[in-house]
Amino acid sequence: MMNVIIVSKFLKAPKKLSFGNPKVAGATAGLLLATVAASFGAGFALRGSEAVASGDVARMQQQLQAQRAELKAAREDAQREINAVAARVGELQAQANRLNALGERLTRDGKLSDGEFDFEHQPGMGGAESSEDMPAGDLLKGLDDLQKKFDRSGQQLGVLESMMYDQQLQLAAIPNGRPSQGYITSGFGTRSDPFNGGRAHHLGIDFAARTGDPVLAAAGGVVSFAGVKSGYGNVVEVDHGNGYSTLYGHNSRLIVRVGDIVRAGQQLAKAGSTGRSTGPHVHFEVHVNGRPVNPRQFLDKVSG
């Protein structure tokens, strides 16, 4: 028989348990079974709570990864939009530079005054309004509107350039250069004939020259004749377009041929005294729509 004596400050006197007593043995066995069951229950409960916590952590990790992926995609989308806007801005800047260069050249060639044609300084701006953030959609629409304005400005400047170019071509077709550096020895119109002394109508003007001196084109054009003409000797004729043409006579030698394109001031021939001539000189005629006119009116415009 086994006896257990229990001593505690909570007991007035020690207690003796005798396991020989069937009631004590049963109660003790029941208590032990309850303690073991409680221990197993607590272990299962702890393992269950650990499993639940582990599942929550896994879900949270998945959500975090999904959020990171969404954030990365949003950043990539924003960067693509920024790159697209930067590309548009670059295109507009290049177009603005081209328009500015064209405007500066037209201003210079057209001898326009400053003011609205001043491309060196930005115009001043101001106002009392407050600023606010601009949505991306409004920014892109603003760039589209700016592109349209640039396109219209480019078309207008292109038309102006064409008009100025046509005007320059017309001016270039008008004879305005001297065919020789010599002084004028005989004018246009009625004069005494140098051979028989009678009255004659001189169709051009004569410049003093020595044999071999350069004979120069009074304007740019195409050589329409290069050869011998009765009374003129060796002759060069240049068609300048718009009804203008010039003739250079009595040359000792021709340098250009029919079909040659010549520039203003280019040498056409060498001065001489071929044909009906009393001595070396340059005979110069200007024709408008096939009719000879006084060349002095063109030379006077140049000098005055």
Identify the pLDDT of residue 148: 77
Amino acid 166: pLDDT: 61
pLDDT of residue 62: 85
Where the chain has pLDDT below 50, the residues are: 4, 7-8, 11, 302-304
pLDDT (tens digit, 9 = 90+) per residue, 198-223?
Answer: 667 789 999 999 999 999 999 999 99
- How far apart are alpha carbons 180 and 163 in whole angstroms? 32
Mind listing the domains of the chain with CATH numbers? 78-112+139-173 (no CATH), 184-303 (2.70.70.10)
pLDDT score, position 302: 47
pTM of the predicted model, to two decimals?
0.49
